[in-house]
């Protein structure tokens, strides 16, 4: 991206495993400051191969166990998958980028060091079976919608443990990330083809933050807010706001089921802040204190002179 756009300031909204494909939100220039405010939900299309266990929990690793699985039924698989929906405890793969003792897990694993990987709480909004293929090593295609930090490789591995067959991730495509869909994404080749004739236009920064409520400020208030001042939340501001305090939720489809995306910032309400002419100014925080309601600057994206 730096080479194609000739920009140094480039950031992304979540890594993908080397063998995975799919959506990777990328921000350029000062829009990198907005990455922290993107939605945290993700969705995947995965293929799980039963009967095989590997060191990395996908086909990139060394096979450590293998057995023929011919008597397994789809009903048994369905029953087992239910254990992985909702808020669950998950142990990340030993080959992952999580830091333990100041080092990445994959660095420790490659060095032959054995460490205890702590479990973490993750949320899986839903799992839907897309296809089931019988054979010596049956394969299961699933659509998974989940929150940040969920490892699909770990779900595949743990499904094999529950079924007592062993399992590993055979293929993975991220179909949605932070509100961006695979169908709206560009390959590097497509991007390059648009850059050369000058037809590439990045998504406007504010468009990536549609899950946040918004408020529009007057010229006077906008200038004060951009200068770091707190604004009293009066009746005028309340009338210019959208969905403040409404519990920011959105539906997004994963195959044929609709799942709720919870607010990414429990306990505080973040808002898109606009000035006159729909000019995006940045991110504000709505504070509802006992004595006063306020709108304070969280991140000023555009200043007003």
Q: Which residue's entry shows tokens 């394969």? A: 139
Whole-angstrom distance, CA of residue 140 vs CA of residue 72: 12
Structure tokens at 219: 């010229």
Whole-angstrom distance, CA of residue 108 vs CA of residue 100: 9
Strand partners, 58: 169
CB 142 within 8 A of CB 129: yes
The residues, any chain, with a CB within 8 Å of residue 196's CB and separated by 6 or more, are none
17 is an active site residue: yes
CB 284 within 8 A of CB 300: no
The CA distances from residue 30 to 35, 204, 226, 299, in Å, are: 10, 12, 16, 11
- Helix (H) / strand (E) element for 169: namely strand 167-177
- Report the alpha-carbon angle 72-123-91, nearest 5: 70
Structure tokens at 138: 């049956």
Whole-angstrom distance, CA of residue 15 vs CA of residue 23: 10
Just list the catalytic residues: 17
């Amino acid at each position: 991206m730096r080479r194609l756009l000739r920009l140094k300031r480039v950031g992304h909204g979540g890594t993908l495993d080397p063998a995975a494909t799919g959506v990777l939100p990328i921000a350029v220039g000062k829009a990198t400051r907005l990455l922290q405010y993107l939605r945290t939900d993700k969705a995947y299309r995965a293929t799980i191969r039963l009967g095989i266990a590997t060191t990395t929990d996908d086909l990139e690793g060394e096979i450590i166990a293998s057995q023929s699985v011919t008597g397994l039924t789809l009903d048994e698989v369905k029953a087992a998958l239910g254990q992985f929906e909702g808020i669950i405890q998950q142990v990340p793969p030993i080959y992952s980028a999580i830091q333990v003792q100041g080092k990445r897990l994959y660095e420790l694993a490659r060095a032959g060091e054995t460490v205890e990987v702590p479990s973490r709480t993750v949320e899986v909004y839903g799992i839907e079976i897309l296809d089931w293929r019988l054979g010596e090593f049956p394969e299961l295609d699933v659509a998974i919608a989940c929150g940040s930090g969920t490892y699909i490789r770990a779900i595949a591995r743990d499904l094999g443990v529950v079924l007592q067959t062993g399992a590993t991730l055979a293929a993975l495509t991220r179909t949605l990330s932070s509100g961006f869909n695979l169908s709206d994404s560009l390959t590097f080749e497509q991007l390059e083809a648009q850059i050369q004739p000058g037809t590439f236009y990045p998504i406007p920064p504010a468009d990536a933050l549609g899950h946040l409520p918004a408020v529009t400020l007057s010229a006077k208030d906008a200038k004060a807010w951009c200068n770091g001042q707190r604004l009293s939340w009066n009746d005028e501001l309340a009338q210019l706001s959208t969905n403040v305090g409404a519990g920011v939720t959105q539906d997004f489809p994963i195959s044929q089921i609709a799942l709720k995306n919870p607010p990414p910032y429990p306990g505080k309400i973040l808002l898109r802040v606009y000035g006159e002419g729909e000019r995006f100014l940045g991110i504000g925080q709505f504070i509802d204190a006992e004595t006063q309601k306020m709108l304070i600057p969280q991140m000023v994206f555009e200043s007003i002179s």
